[in-house]
Amino acid sequence: MQTRSKFFDDMSQLMTNAMGVAQGAKDEAETAFKGMVDRWLADRDFVTREEFDAVRAMAQKAREENEALKARIEALEAK
């Protein structure tokens, strides 16, 4: 029968706690970095992907309406 010494139990607990602290520090650093990048982008007046996609959809709809109106005008002028 093998018994574990208190030293190994303490070292195991210490390593487990250290890994938890390291993971917490990593998460905190990632959050801080993401916040810093978001602020930097906001200061530069960059648009978000959602804003870009919304304006792109509006432009596409306007192009389609212009083409439809152009075709209608050409049909009226042909009469």
54-63 pLDDT per residue, tens:
999 999 999 9
Which has the minimum average pLDDT: 15-19, 38-42, 66-70?
A: 38-42
Answer left, alpha or beta for residue 4, where phi above 0 means left and psi between -120 and 50 means alpha: beta
Backbone angles phi, psi at 63, to 5 degrees: -60, -45
pLDDT at 33 over 70: yes
pLDDT at 3 over 70: no
Q: Note the Cα 57 to chain centre separation in Å.
A: 20
- Distance, in Å, from the CA atom of 32 to the CA atom of 25, rounded to the nearest integer, reads 10
